[in-house]
């Protein structure tokens, strides 16, 4: 990974942090994206100390806001002229309805729309790197929760019928739909695009929801969760392994390709999500 540049969102905790640690330890230059300045700065210093790799920097932005996502992309482009790996990992689950700065339900805004927007804003860097270096890679963190998700594009600006798990599973389905559509659109390039289920991981994910869901998620994690290191393993594999070179448009779990849900292969749903995302981000 020496000489390569990797951008990781949601990089200050959990599997994002562990992936950054492993990839930086392989010699890659790593850019972390976080939304809390003190924490992001501290994690950057921690990783530099642990890996001995001084080429780790950070960008600040709440990616649920399109303006802040654009700011992250602009700052990255100002600093760096290459991007070998984009790891879209930032995400959350919300127990109550919240609205993003742009008026969207927060789960959709953060878990899907940030992936779509940031990827497009950095696509020219990925294309240039792939042409110069022979490849570039995009990795989208999804979840097995996508299997119970359904695509509903008519209620993303209101609170009607809000359900934490239905919105979360829908957003994770969107990650897979987006992965497959983007992989098809980039088929003639040397850029690969893959989606990942990292497993049920022992992190703080979901601990900031309401008391019931926080307790429930903590119990589930205690019973079946894997370590953040193991949860990050497939992300690191797809970012760095020569064995993953040239493989695109796949869904992965535990370093192996798996079939995703039937809905995720529906090209009409892939196209509809793409067109909706392009319209609301102004990239259509």
- Tell me if 251 sits within 8 A of 258, measured CB to CB: yes
Helix (H, G, I), strand (E, B) or coil at 205: coil
Q: How far is it, in rounded angstroms, from Cα 284 to Cα 276?
A: 8
Q: How far from chain centre, in Å, is Cα 120?
A: 13
CA angle 116, 117, 121 (to 5 degrees): 120
- Tell me if 33 sits within 8 A of 224, measured CB to CB: no
- Tell me if 86 sits within 8 A of 7, measured CB to CB: yes
Q: How far is it, in rounded angstroms, from Cα 73 to Cα 50?
A: 27
Choosing from 116, 168, 251, 276, which is the catalytic residue? 168
- Tell me if 49 sits within 8 A of 24, measured CB to CB: no
- Provide the H-helix boundaries in the chain: 14-25, 37-51, 66-79, 106-108, 114-121, 123-133, 164-185, 211-224, 228-240, 267-281
168 assigned to active site? yes
- Tell me if 22 sits within 8 A of 48, measured CB to CB: no
Residue with tokens 């497993």: 199
Mind telling me the catalytic residues? 168
């Amino acid at each position: 990974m020496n000489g390569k540049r990797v951008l990781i969102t949601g990089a200050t905790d959990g599997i994002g942090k562990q992936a950054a640690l492993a990839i930086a330890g392989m010699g890659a230059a790593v850019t972390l994206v976080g939304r809390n300045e003190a924490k992001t700065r501290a994690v950057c210093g921690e990783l530099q100390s642990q890996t001995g790799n001084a080429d780790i920097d950070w960008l600040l932005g709440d990616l649920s806001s399109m303006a802040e996502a654009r700011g992250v992309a602009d700052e990255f482009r100002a600093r760096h002229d290459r991007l070998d790996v984009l790891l879209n990992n930032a995400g959350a689950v919300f127990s109550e309805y919240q609205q993003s700065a742009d008026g969207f339900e927060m789960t959709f805004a953060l878990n899907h729309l940030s992936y779509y927007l940031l990827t497009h804003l950095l696509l020219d860097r990925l294309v240039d790197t792939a042409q110069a270096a022979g490849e570039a890679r995009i990795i989208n963190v999804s979840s097995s929760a996508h299997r119970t998700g359904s695509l509903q594009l008519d209620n993303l600006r209101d609170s009607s019928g809000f359900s934490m798990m239905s919105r979360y599973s829908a957003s994770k389905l969107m990650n897979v739909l987006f992965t497959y559509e983007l992989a098809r659109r980039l088929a003639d390039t040397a850029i690969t695009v893959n989606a990942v289920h990292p497993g049920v991981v022992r992190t703080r994910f979901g601990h900031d929801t309401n008391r019931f869901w926080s307790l429930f998620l903590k119990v589930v994690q205690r019973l079946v969760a894997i370590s953040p290191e193991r949860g990050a393993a497939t992300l690191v594999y797809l970012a760095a392994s020569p064995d993953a070179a040239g493989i695109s448009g796949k869904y992965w779990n535990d370093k192996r390709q798996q079939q995703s849900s039937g809905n995720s292969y529906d090209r009409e749903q892939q196209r509809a999500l793409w067109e909706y995302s392009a319209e609301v981000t102004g990239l259509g």
